[in-house]
Chain A
Amino acid sequence: MSEAILRLEDIALRRSGGLVLSDISLELYRDEMLTLLGPNGSGKSTLLHVIGLLRRPNHGTIYFHGQPVPWDGDLLSLRRRMATVFQQPLLLDTTVAGNVALGLRLRGVSNAEAQPRVGSWLDRLGIASLAGRSARQLSGGEAQRVSLARALVIEPEVLLLDEPFKELDTPTREALVEELKGVLQETRTTTVFVTHDRTEALRLSDRVAVLHNGHLLQTGTTEEVFNRPASHEVAAFVGVETILPGRIIAAQDGVATVEVADGRALAVASELPAGMRVLVCIRPEDVTLYADGAAGSTSAQSSARNRFPGRITQVQQRGSLYSILVDCGFPLAALVTKQSLVELNLVPGRQVEASFKATAAHVIQRGS
């Protein structure tokens, strides 16, 4: 990790008596995409406002490049190094181009200098044809593109996104998430992204911070948080799927071969081309375990494309079922009944074979 742009230390915020945020310590590193993930009402938007220096916390310190933020001093020059996109586009009553130019005009950038920059961002987000249109005449997707362009044209050191896709319909959202991801990777913009949607978090983040009831439950890389939830609350929210980062090394007839670890490749149903970086998600209930040796006799008749020998590293009870973690050169979780647990003698250290179908794996594109 490179240098921390922002560091939050022991942040607490009270509103009408109750604590909205407490004990928040968090770092934001240069060039990373950090996602604040949490259910509605977990305080993640409020935390984003604090990070954007728009709300003063009741307790704690924020360091911007190592310097404590001067809440009573020159806050504006720090705030001007960031930009926020909110859930609603919140456009002003002027043209599309006028809206996109707003941040530059507030910073005293001359019209002559602002115009080409505005034009290039309108172009990049595919809204150049709307430049002269009144901002009141846009569809939801168009308006949110304008709002994104308005933030990006500032070329902020930190971009803050407060669930910007929440109010869009699914196809519009899908298109915009992909485009935004491309833009952010290309510009290497440091981003804090607030969402309650775990798939969006998987697609857009390097690191995830899980927030619940104003507390930070876990912070770590996306794979860490999703594969090794630190607590029941985190697991309940992020789900208990196995999530493996990998790269597609071959793709044919709707089946992609994804290398997830040295010499370990999975066959998954996907139309994505070779070379793509992806996350492979496998639900534990789709993974079948065989006692070592038994698998050889059944493999000929099975339609499961993926079979890996491995060693059980952990057994955990989840309600009436058991979650078995198998080390196959990569971690893989399986969910079994008590009966299977006893019959196959599934205990830590035991050799087993794990298998799942190519269609059971869900592939999320990360980039190329």
Chain B
Amino acid sequence: MDLIWEGISQAFWLLIRGDPEVVRVTLLTLQVSGSATLLSVLIGIPLGTVLALTRFPGRSLAISLVNTGMGLPPVVVGLFVAVMLWRNGPFGFFGIMYSPLAMVIAQVVIAGPLVTGLTTAAIQQLPPMLRLQIEALGASRWQMVLLLMREAKLPLLAALIAGFGGVVSEIGASMMVGGNILGQTRVLTTATAMEVSKGNFGLAMALGIILLVVAYLVNLVFTMAQQRGRPQP
């Protein structure tokens, strides 16, 4: 119990004092995971919509691959991205290993399938005749797609929330391609793990609590946007 209280009070003081290191780590976490979520949404929502609305050979295979991707272990993703970005790897010449950009790439690989798969499900749960009705009222292809997305806005926001939640909490990939470098690639999860390994349980608790609060606040914003559009019973 002492550890928990110590953690909470330490977190409180770290935030009140505006400890520069903690602030930097927190901001980098938001930056990396925020960019990764944004990119995943930009890729995943159109891709998921296409998978939901079109018919082509191999579509079932594509959907099953995406669904498998929704459960990729971050450590495996980190390993895969690390191999690609390694100095001697195929994309080594970019020289972005151990940079925030590398972390964003790894997190997109984690969140992209999540957003894509949940988007496909969100569009497919709409009544099948709705698409025909919208077309019958004179919608062009684009108007039809946008209207369907608007109809699915609640589950689409859930896809975004799941994507952010998936990357802000992962550690394996960030550690592997970021390296937990002080002032450069240290984020809340890697910092927490490091403090635990050093035996600084209080500081680790503090970082953990900050991570929870940050994740909670971000999700609160999304959830409020989502529930505002919820139909009344």
Residues in chain A within 8 A of chain B (CB atoms): 49, 52, 54, 76, 79-80, 82-84, 86, 88, 90, 92-93, 102-103, 106-107, 134, 136-137, 150-151, 154, 160
State whether A86 and B132 are in contact (beta carbons under 8 Å apart), knowing that A92-B151, A93-B151 are contacts in the complex.
yes
B127 interface residue, CB < 8 Å from A?
Answer: yes
Out of A54, A76, A150, which one reaches B132, CB within 8 Å? A54
With a cutoff of 8 Å between Cβ atoms, the chain A residues found around residue B133 in the complex are 84, 86, 90
User: What is the interface of chain A mostly: helix, strand, loop, or mixed?
Assistant: mixed
Q: Is the CB of A103 within 8 A of B137?
A: yes
**Residue interface mask B149-174, A partner, CB < 8 A = 1:** 01100000000000000000000000
With a cutoff of 8 Å between Cβ atoms, the chain B residues found around residue A150 in the complex are 137
**Which residue of chain A lies nearest to B135 when distances are taken between CB atoms in the complex?**
A54
With a cutoff of 8 Å between Cβ atoms, the chain B residues found around residue A88 in the complex are 127, 129
User: What is the interface of chain B mostly: helix, strand, loop, or mixed?
Assistant: helix
**A-B pairs with beta carbons under 8 A, tally:** 56
With a cutoff of 8 Å between Cβ atoms, the chain A residues found around residue B127 in the complex are 88, 90
**Which residue of chain B lies nearest to A156 when distances are taken between CB atoms in the complex?**
B138
8 A Cβ contacts from B123-138 to A: 127, 129-130, 132-133, 135-138
Count residues of B near A (Cβ-Cβ below 8 Å). Answer: 18
Q: Is the CB of B231 within 8 A of A107?
A: no
With a cutoff of 8 Å between Cβ atoms, the chain B residues found around residue A107 in the complex are 138
Q: How far is the CB of B133 from chain A (nearest CB, A)?
A: 4
B232 interface residue, CB < 8 Å from A?
Answer: yes
Q: Is the CB of A134 within 8 A of B232?
A: yes
Q: Is the CB of A49 within 8 A of B138?
A: no
The winner among A52, A82, A103, A106 for most chain B CB atoms within 10 A is A106
The winner among B127, B139, B140 for most chain A CB atoms within 10 A is B139
B213 interface residue, CB < 8 Å from A?
Answer: no
With a cutoff of 8 Å between Cβ atoms, the chain A residues found around residue B231 in the complex are 93, 134, 136-137
With a cutoff of 8 Å between Cβ atoms, the chain B residues found around residue A103 in the complex are 137-138
Q: Once bound together, how far apart are the Cα atoms of A143 and B117, in whole Å?
A: 32
Q: How far is the CB of B39 from chain A (nearest CB, A)?
A: 28
**Which residue of chain B lies nearest to A99 when distances are taken between CB atoms in the complex?**
B137
Q: How far is the CB of B130 from chain A (nearest CB, A)?
A: 5
Q: Is the CB of A79 within 8 A of B135?
A: yes
Q: Is the CB of A83 within 8 A of B136?
A: yes
With a cutoff of 8 Å between Cβ atoms, the chain A residues found around residue B229 in the complex are 93
Q: List 27 A-B contacts (CB under 8 A).
A: A49-B132, A54-B132, A54-B135, A76-B138, A76-B140, A79-B136, A80-B138, A82-B136, A83-B138, A84-B136, A86-B133, A86-B136, A88-B127, A88-B129, A90-B127, A90-B129, A90-B130, A90-B133, A92-B151, A106-B137, A106-B138, A134-B232, A136-B232, A137-B231, A137-B232, A154-B137, A160-B136
